[in-house]
Amino acid sequence: MANQNIRNFSIIAHIDHGKSTIADRLIERTGTLTKREMEDQVLDSMDIERERGITIKSQTVRLHYKASDGEEYELNLIDTPGHVDFTYEVSRSLAACEGALLVVDAAQGVEAQTLANVYMALENDLEIIPVINKIDLPSADPERVKKEIEDVIGLDTSNAIECSAKTGQGIDEILEAIVTDIPAPEGDAAAPLRALIFDSYFDSYKGVIAHIRVKEGRIKKGQRLKMMATGKVFEVTDVGCFRPQPVDLGTLAAGEVGFVAGSLKDVRDVRVGDTITTAEKGAAEPLPGYRGVNPMVYCGLYPVESSDYDNLKDALEKLQLNDAALVFEPETSVALGFGFRCGFLGLLHMDVVQERLEREYHLKLITTAPTVIYHVYKTDGTMLKVSNPSELPPPTEIEHIEEPYVKATVIVPSDYVGAVMEISQDKRGEFKGMDYLDTNRVMITYHIPLNEIIFDYFDRLKSATRGYASLDYELADYKESKLVKVDILLNGDPVDALSTIVHKDRAASRGRQLAAKLKEIIPQQMFEIPIQAAIGSKVIARENVRARRKDVLAKCYGGDISRKRKLLEKQKEGKKRMKAVGSVEVPQEAFMAILKID
């Protein structure tokens, strides 16, 4: 198809504003899938994504649309991940498009991720079509939302489309606007090949499949191609588009969006943001914007049963086939034995990986509290990156420590400004600015240590603002902080997996809170267990778990056998996640206790 009849676009929105539902309607309306073939929200396919209502892997679908001008158009819808962990993936998906639908909930208005997404779309020079969704809701106020978009984002909304993905109203207007407002792709099909990879996944039959946008040149089956960043060379076995199943077309030319596959076994060779060119006489320069993976959050993963170590290793390797952003390396803990230090793009990414290991690979895991990467400048002039608190060098060897800060943007009704500021200050945030979006909604910006964001920042914001706060953040820079390591000793022995790095001014109170929390979590055992928190050799808090006196079953007065069995089962269930640390049985929860104190 000629390029003037192609449109490449994304849908950007704050979570829950209706991105997936609108995508479904577009797929349905263009007859790409019949109603019977349609599952709800076909684009969110993985179970976990569906349950959580988020998109982690982006998916692409080609729609054929006959417009009111009588012409046939090829519309490539590129779905983007809907979570702050995947900002870079979103930016590459947007780089594959010429335009975007900006979906805003008619009752909610502009939220933090709306803004973050719009800025990214503008950076990629996209034509933006504002779509006000959910106008069927009684609380919908499209005029207010349009004004907000004009005031806050500076977009003209005179052509904004009012729609309801629920009733189908406005869907035809969206399709027409895509054709009339979004520019057709440009790019010379005769130039050396340059194709942008914006996603990839592993298919057990075809190997790694790369989602691509051909910017210049042409890809043909049988060609030998090269990844410009990783240097990997491969032969094309399949090239085509998604409808939404992969359809082999034999070729893709400049301007088109689709996939390419060929003898690729490892997703790590197929990097998001990399440029594909031909192996011979390829392009001189890659497309701009490639960035390697950089994990932001690390944690330790240990099998509850040490005999499961190899199974955990296999499972991580398998997951990595589909997730180039997951990194791991073997790690040994005195307390927990052999396991892995794993790096993730963010907390959601971490949760999803843990959940998949447990659900799909039936592993029982002990996970340690997530930490950020500290830059430790040593007195010998070297810099050490520390992602495991127990690896922090002794204070005498440390010149200073820097920690990552993020720029956090919070949008709330103005009544809650005080609450947001209080929590942010408490999280060591530095106030950066405040803007009124309209008479009763405010955008507040803070620089906050990422470490503090991990520690329940968003949960606290949500509960203090009755769920109204929306949050987006991006890495800002590394800054010096006075940080120390707090160690925990159980029964006199330090437990490396319980060490945490905290700000000096809070170390004493965190140590006390942590000891108190552990006292609640660690079950009584046959002997008394002293719990101590210490900085270096200085003990800053002490608690005791008293020795157990009675058998649990004594409570059952002998009689009720089913109750007795239940109790035993419950005990067994609890036991599954217990790890013997020295002489003490420690439940999984304990390793996360640091996240639960307030």
| Interface residue list for Mg ion (CB under 5 A) | 19-20, 55
Residue 53 binding ligand GDP, by CB under 6 A:
yes
The span of 12-20, 83-91, 174-182, 300-308 binding ligand GDP (CB under 6 A) equals 12-20
Residue type, 137: L
Collect all residues with Cβ–Cβ distance below 8 Å to 364 and sequence separation of at least 6: 303, 304, 305, 308, 358, 576, 577
Count Cβ atoms within 10 A of the Cβ of residue 377 and give its class: 0-12 exposed, 13-18 middle, 19 or more buried.
middle
- One residue of 77, 80, 82, 312 binding ligand GDP per CB under 6 A: 82
Tokens encoding 181: 């407002």
Residue 427 binding ligand GDP, by CB under 6 A:
no
Backbone angles phi, psi at 177, to 5 degrees: -65, -35
Distance CA 373, CA 259 (A): 35
- Measured in residues, the chain has a length of 598
Residue type, 192: P
Tokens encoding 222: 């049988």
Residue 57 binding ligand GDP, by CB under 6 A:
no
- One residue of 136, 176, 358, 493 binding ligand GDP per CB under 6 A: 136
Count Cβ atoms within 10 A of the Cβ of residue 85 and give its class: 0-12 exposed, 13-18 middle, 19 or more buried.
buried
Work out what residue 134 binds among ligand GDP, Mg ion, none; the CB cut-off runs from 5 to 8 Å by kind.
ligand GDP
Residue 50 binding ligand GDP, by CB under 6 A:
no
Count Cβ atoms within 10 A of the Cβ of residue 139 and give its class: 0-12 exposed, 13-18 middle, 19 or more buried.
exposed
Our CB check for ligand GDP shows the closer of 174 and 410 to be: 174
Quickly count: other Cβ atoms within 10 Å of residue 135's Cβ: 21
Our CB check for ligand GDP shows the closer of 17 and 268 to be: 17
Partners of 11 in the β-ladder: 101
Distance CA 572, CA 237 (A): 51
Shortest Å distance, C-beta 150 to Mg ion: 26
Task: List residues forming the annotated binding site for GTP.
Answer: 16-21, 133-136
The span of 133-141, 277-285, 295-303, 448-456 binding ligand GDP (CB under 6 A) equals 133-141
Collect all residues with Cβ–Cβ distance below 8 Å to 439 and sequence separation of at least 6: 414
Shortest Å distance, C-beta 523 to Mg ion: 41
How many residues belong to the site for ligand GDP (CB under 6 A)? 17
Residue 15 binding ligand GDP, by CB under 6 A:
yes
- One residue of 59, 91, 113, 164 binding ligand GDP per CB under 6 A: 164
Work out what residue 183 binds among ligand GDP, Mg ion, none; the CB cut-off runs from 5 to 8 Å by kind.
none
* 124 close to 94: Cβ distance less than 8 angstroms: yes
Shortest Å distance, C-beta 247 to Mg ion: 24
Residue 19 binding ligand GDP, by CB under 6 A:
yes
Question: Which DSSP state fits 185?
Answer: P
The span of 11-19, 183-191, 444-452, 464-472 binding ligand GDP (CB under 6 A) equals 11-19
Residue 166 binding ligand GDP, by CB under 6 A:
yes
Distance CA 99, CA 238 (A): 27
Count Cβ atoms within 10 A of the Cβ of residue 259 and give its class: 0-12 exposed, 13-18 middle, 19 or more buried.
buried
Work out what residue 8 binds among ligand GDP, Mg ion, none; the CB cut-off runs from 5 to 8 Å by kind.
none
Our CB check for Mg ion shows the closer of 52 and 407 to be: 52
Shortest Å distance, C-beta 41 to ligand GDP: 6
Shortest Å distance, C-beta 13 to Mg ion: 8
* 132 close to 161: Cβ distance less than 8 angstroms: yes
Residue 16 binding ligand GDP, by CB under 6 A:
yes
Residue 134 binding ligand GDP, by CB under 6 A:
yes
Residue type, 338: F
Distance CA 484, CA 536 (A): 9
Our CB check for Mg ion shows the closer of 19 and 579 to be: 19
Distance CA 575, CA 578 (A): 5
Our CB check for ligand GDP shows the closer of 117 and 333 to be: 117
Our CB check for Mg ion shows the closer of 41 and 251 to be: 41
Our CB check for ligand GDP shows the closer of 25 and 62 to be: 25
Residue 17 binding ligand GDP, by CB under 6 A:
yes
Nearest residue to 267 (alpha-carbon basis) of 336, 355, 365, 200 = 200
Our CB check for ligand GDP shows the closer of 162 and 487 to be: 162
State the distance between the two ends of the chain, measured CA to CA, in whole angstroms: 60
180, 186, 210 from 6: Cα distances, Å: 11, 10, 20
Shortest Å distance, C-beta 254 to Mg ion: 30
Our CB check for ligand GDP shows the closer of 164 and 500 to be: 164
Work out what residue 124 binds among ligand GDP, Mg ion, none; the CB cut-off runs from 5 to 8 Å by kind.
none
Give the binding site for ligand GDP (CB under 6 A).
13, 15-21, 53, 82, 133-134, 136-137, 164-166
